[in-house]
Structure 1
Amino acid sequence: MKLTSSAAAILELIRTGANESAEPLLALFDELDPVPATFMYGRWRGGLLTADRELGVLLTRMKWYGRHFTDAEHADPLLCRRSDGTLYSFAGLGLARLRELSFRGKVSAAMIYDDQPMIDVFRKISENVVLGVTDTKGRPTDFFFHLTRD
């Protein structure tokens, strides 16, 4: 599969562990293709591209591992690691569901939190990697992360 220049640029950021500012990431996000909700089913390992944001700091402290999407109605947004390495679903911020919605001109899979004013929207980097952005009501759109299919 041939990657777009945007996808290749994001994969390079992931490889280097760079902490990027939101503006260039948003431009790259806009160039990526959308994904259907069913594409997201399964367990995904996460990583942060804007780790210095408040949410990134929180996820790092929580030892965030990634996400699990069972189906359209059941998503575990915060899979975390215990000190012994086992995974658990942290439900303190609530659970979530998957929908396809329009964001920045494209309809793509999005995770909608049950109890938080937040939506995570996904765009395709490759068959096994997506870029996510968190859209929080009343806050700037500046938190980016990536998910790799387990």
Structure 2
Amino acid sequence: MSLARAKFVEFKEHDGPIPDAQLDDFWATLSPATIDDMIGQWRGGEFRTGHRMNGALEKAGWFGKTFTSATDVQPLVCLDAQGNKFSNVAMGKGEASLWLEAFRGEVTATMVYDGQPVHDHFKKIDDDTVLGIMNGKGVRDNGRYFYFYLERV
């Protein structure tokens, strides 16, 4: 198991809040994701940091994200009461697209929502796992980012 994978598993299994600084330090060790890296279906989860958004996606039945191409992204794939997947365009205010954007001095794959000023930046933990930082107006919590992860289905 790589060091990055081991650290990810440690964070994922951590029982209690994770300080933002620890996730920032982890982010700094990872390689930027490319658009090609992101194509596919992903199951998502969040890191509990005390951010005001913690728990909101789970309440909405969030499953993950689907990247069909750079211009065809379903950012909020959720599960209905019967366990069927659907793209929650109402919650996401539309769908999304993938771009290469500079964030923290590096160019990385970034998902940009079509209908709201939110950008999800991604870095690779391994070929099947990425760390995400949600950024944008209305998402930051007193300057703090929302941290999440995606695992390839």
Common fold, TM-score beyond 0.5?
yes
Residue 31 of structure 1, aligned match among 29, 32, 35: 29
* Aligned-partner Cα distance in 2 for 1:49–1:133: 10
Aligned match of 2:109 = 109
Write out aligned runs for 1:78-89 (5 A): 78-89=76-87
Give the conservation status (yes or no) of the 8 Å contact 1:17–1:49.
no
Q: In the TM superposition, what is the alpha-carbon distance from 1:7 to its structure 2 partner?
A: 4.3
RMSD after superposition = 1.8
1:11 aligns with 2:9: yes
Q: Percent identity?
A: 33
* Shift of residue 131, structure 1, vs aligned partner: 0.4
| TM norm structure 1 | 0.89
SS of the counterpart of 2:102?
Answer: strand
Residue of structure 2 in register with 1:56 after alignment: 54
Contact 2:19/2:49 (<8 A) preserved:
no
Equivalent residue, structure 1, for 2:44: 46
Match of 2:136 in 1: 136
Pairs aligned (count): 148
Paired position in structure 2 for 1:149: 152
Query: Is the Cα contact below 8 Å between 1:119 and 1:136 reproduced in 2?
Result: yes
Letter in 1 for 2:125: I
CA distance in structure 2 between the partners assigned to 1:22 and 1:53 by the alignment:
9
Matched with 2:75 is 77
Letter in 2 for 1:49: F
| CA gap 1:107/1:17 in 2 versus in 1, 3 angstroms | farther
After TM superposition, what 4+ stretches of structure 1 lie above 6 angstroms from structure 2?
Answer: none
Gaps of 5+ in 1: none
Give SS of 1:56's match.
Answer: coil
Is the 1:134–1:141 contact (alpha carbons within 8 Å) kept by the matching residues of 2?
A: no
Counterpart check, 1:119 vs 2:134: no
* Counterpart AA for 1:131: L
The CA deviation at 1:10 is 2.0
